[in-house]
Amino acid sequence: MDIDWAWIADHRDSLTEHALVHLRLALLPVLFGLLIALPLGVLCRRWGWLYPPALTIANILYAVPSLALFMIFIQYTGLTASTVMIPLTLYSLSVLIPNVVDGLASVSEPVRQAATAMGFGTLRRLMQVELPIAVPVVIAGTRVAAVSSISLVAVGQLIGQGGLGYDIIRGYQLQFQTQIVAATVLIVLLALVTDAILVTVQRLLTPWARARGGAS
Amino acid sequence: MNELWNQIELSWTWLTASSQWHGPDGIPHRLLQHVWYSGVSLLCAAVIGLALGLLAGHTGRGGFLAITLANVARAIPTFGLVLFVVVIDYSITPVLVALVALAVPPILVNTFEGVRGVDPDAKDAARGVGMTGWGVLWHAELPMALPLILLGLRTSAIQVVATATIAAYPGFGGLGRYIIDGLARGDYQLVVGGTVLVVALALIVQLIFAGLRRLVVSPGLLGSARPS
């Protein structure tokens, strides 16, 4: 394996640009996913009958190959960033919804009753007691969703929206190893940095729970 | 809505055309390739993930390392790995390696969490009735961790089945062939047809695991599994 370091130095700017596009394409869907999964998870927790069908739909969506999902959305959103981001949002939902529900389920009954006894209404109890306690499990899911999303975006290049996926396909077409390796390594780095940031966020949000990081 | 119905009808015509069911480009052959790639990768991943997960969970050591490795492996873009290794060595092995790398993390993490989460009292009891390390692992930890382990295997299996479509990009067939060809020719019917087949396969995998769960998990444990 020969790495052409000079090529990497020459293409620093374009690689950085692709990396930024990559991050945006990967992380916005996770953010949207969270914004959808949090209320949906709360609803599923409140009305138990909602959860099995929601989970089944999420599981089926998860089984659709990303490439195929991109293709299906081309019909509606064309060769735009949305065509990559909507499927990624759907994928992140299949990880996030179960984690939000489990996170809320991890709040013990005595804690809930204590909050009620202190005069908390349903909404205030949710915001100030249940959601904060659910944070570790929700973040564990967010980490999986974010990391998978970052590595999945590359496939989006097959429809022209892939961030660093561009360099992977280009390198493959030109049989130029350096470009593929550089893009792949950068993707892994982006994923690891994002993961580390999420762990830090979790620490900051749950100052009471030191030591044990959320395992996923 | 009308458009959607048209598409469903088109892919149904495609799926049921008899020409689709014969020859090297026929559905049975492509399906077999797909199942073969997925099965081999999942088997290798299960051996690696179960061995490491059981070891780390049982000894209580190396857990952090195992989880970190699993997270790093999750971050590797399968697509990049496949194309990179194919450039070096044009054979199906790189594709399988990439699929194994994709499948190990969920199995490893769930096995580790499952074994680690076994009630310490139950382990003590197992030791108390005279079990050795292997006995505890085999008769107490493994059965109790089984719901989570199966969940990890299922997640991996579905990911592998969906991702094995990538094997078609460098030209190794499988059901992805239809999707990639359809994309190249702008033939939408082909793309949807291929997708339907992959999703159907993934659903069958789900059913198999639901069945397995009923068969092998001790009835006393059912309902306690938690996805992660």
Per-window interface: A 158-197 vs B, CB < 8 A: 158-159, 165, 168-169, 171-172, 175, 177, 180-181, 183-184, 187-188, 191-192, 195
CB spacing of B166 vs A155 below 8 angstroms:
yes
Reported as a pLDDT band with limits 50, 70 and 90, residue B103 is very high
Q: What is the CATH number of the domain that holds B102?
A: 1.10.3720.10
Does any CB of chain B come closer than 8 Å to the CB of residue A3? Answer: no
**Residues of chain A contacting B79 with CB distance shorter than 8 Å:** 151, 154-155, 165, 168
Q: How far is B41 from chain A (nearest CA, A)?
A: 17
Instruction: Search chain B and give the residue with CA nearest A184.
Output: B80
Q: How does DSSP assign A139-207, residue by residue?
A: HHHHHHHHHHHHHHGGGGGGGT--TTHHHHHHHHHTT-HHHHHHHHHHHHHHHHHHHHHHHHHHHHH-T
CA distances from A212 to A14, B46, B217 (A): 39, 27, 29
Q: What is the mean pLDDT of residues B33-47?
A: 94
pLDDT digits (tens, 9 = 90+) for A115-165: 999 989 888 888 888 988 888 889 988 998 999 899 888 888 878 888 888
- DSSP characters over A33-92: HHHHHHHHHHHHHHSGGGHHHHHHHHHHHHHS-HHHHHHHHHHHH-SSHHHHHHHHHHHH
B154, B205 in Cβ contact below 8 A? yes
**Phi-psi group of B76: left, alpha or beta (phi > 0 → left; psi -120 to 50 → alpha; rest → beta):** beta
List CB contacts of A92: < 8 A, sequence separation 6 or more: A29, A30, A32, A33, A34, A37, A145, A146, A148, A149
Please write the tens of the pLDDT for every residue from B59-95: 878 777 887 788 778 888 887 777 777 777 777 888 8
Is the Cβ of B109 closer than 8 Å to some Cβ of chain A? yes
Is the CB of residue A140 less than 8 Å away from at least one CB of chain B?
yes
CB contact under 8 A, A67 and B176: yes
Chain A hits for B163, Cβ within 8 Å: 65
pLDDT on residue B35: 92
Cβ <8 Å between A165 and B71: no
- Write out chain B residues lying below 8 Å of A58, CB-based: none
Using one digit for the tens of pLDDT, what is the confidence trace for B154-203? 989 988 998 888 888 887 878 888 888 887 887 778 888 888 888 889 88
- Domain encompassing residue B153: 27-221
Residue A181's CB is within 10 A of a number of other CB atoms, namely 21
Interface check B115 vs A, CB under 8 A: no
pLDDT in tens, chain A (216 residues): 677 888 888 888 889 899 999 999 999 999 999 999 999 999 998 888 888 888 888 877 877 778 778 877 877 887 888 888 998 999 899 889 988 998 898 888 899 899 999 989 888 888 888 988 888 889 988 998 999 899 888 888 878 888 888 888 888 888 888 888 888 889 999 999 998 999 899 888 888 766 554 444
Per-residue DSSP letter, A212: -
In whole numbers, what is the pLDDT of chain A averaged over residues?
Answer: 86
pTM: 0.80
In angstroms, what CA-CA distances link B12 with A14, B9, B23?
44, 5, 20
CA distance A216 to A100: 13
- Asked if residues B188 and B7 have their Cβ atoms less than 8 Å apart, the reply is yes
CA distances from B74 to A7, A152, A192, B84, B226 (A): 28, 10, 10, 17, 20
Q: Confidence band (pLDDT; 50, 70, 90) for B3?
A: low
Amino acid A214: pLDDT:
45
Q: Determine the pLDDT at residue B223.
A: 55
d(CA B2, CA B9): 11
Our CA angle for A15, A18, A23, nearest 5°, is: 125
- For the cut 90, the answer to whether the pLDDT of residue B47 exceeds it is yes
Does B45 map to a domain? yes
* Residue type for position B68: T
* Distance between CA atoms of residues B68 and A215, nearest Å: 10
- Can you tell me the distance from the alpha carbon of A70 to that of A167, in angstroms, rounded to the nearest whole number? 19
- Spell out which residues of chain A touch residue B77, defining contact as CB-CB under 8 Å: 150-152, 154, 165, 168, 184, 187-188
User: A24-205 adopts what CATH topology?
Assistant: MetI-like fold (1.10.3720)
The residue of B6, B65, B79 whose CB has the most chain A CBs within 10 angstroms, and thus the best one to mutate to test that interface, is: B79
Does residue B114 lie within any of the structural domains?
A: yes
Per-residue pLDDT at A82: 87
How many domains, in total, are found in chain B? 1
Q: Are A151 and A187 in contact (CB under 8 A)?
A: yes
Average pLDDT over residues B7-17: 74
**What was the pLDDT predicted at B27?**
83
ipTM of the complex: 0.72
**What is the residue whose two structure tokens read 């469903």?**
B8
Note whether A68 contacts B194, CB cutoff 8 Å: yes
Query: B190 — contact with chain A (CB < 8 Å)?
Result: no
Instruction: Say yes or no: B166 contacts chain A, CB-CB below 8 A.
Output: yes
Q: What confidence score (pLDDT) does residue B4 get?
A: 65
Residues in chain B with CB shorter than 8 Å from the CB of A147 are: 71, 74-75
Quickly count: other Cβ atoms within 10 Å of residue B154's Cβ: 22
Cβ-defined contact of A64 to B195 (cutoff 8 Å): yes
Interval B119-159: pLDDT, tens? 888 888 888 888 888 888 888 888 888 888 998 899 899 88
Distances, alpha carbon B105 to alpha carbons A183, B141, B160, in Å = 22, 20, 12
Distance CA A25, CA A20 (A): 9
Place of tokens 């062939």: B177
Sorted by sequence, the CB contacts under 8 Å of residue B55 that are 6+ apart come out as B62
Residue B59 to residue A52: CA distance in whole angstroms: 36
For B93, other C-beta atoms within 10 Å of its C-beta total 11
The interface residues of chain A toward chain B in range 70-109, judged by CB-CB distance below 8 A, are 71-72, 75, 98-99, 102
> Closest Cα partner for B71 from B104, B111, B113, B112?
B104
In a domain, B21, yes or no: no
Handedness of CA A152, A154, A160, A163 (dihedral sign): positive
Pick the more confident residue, A176 or B39.
B39
Chain B residues in contact with A165 by the CB 8 A cut-off are 77, 79-80
The answer to whether B90 faces chain A, any CB pair under 8 Å, is no
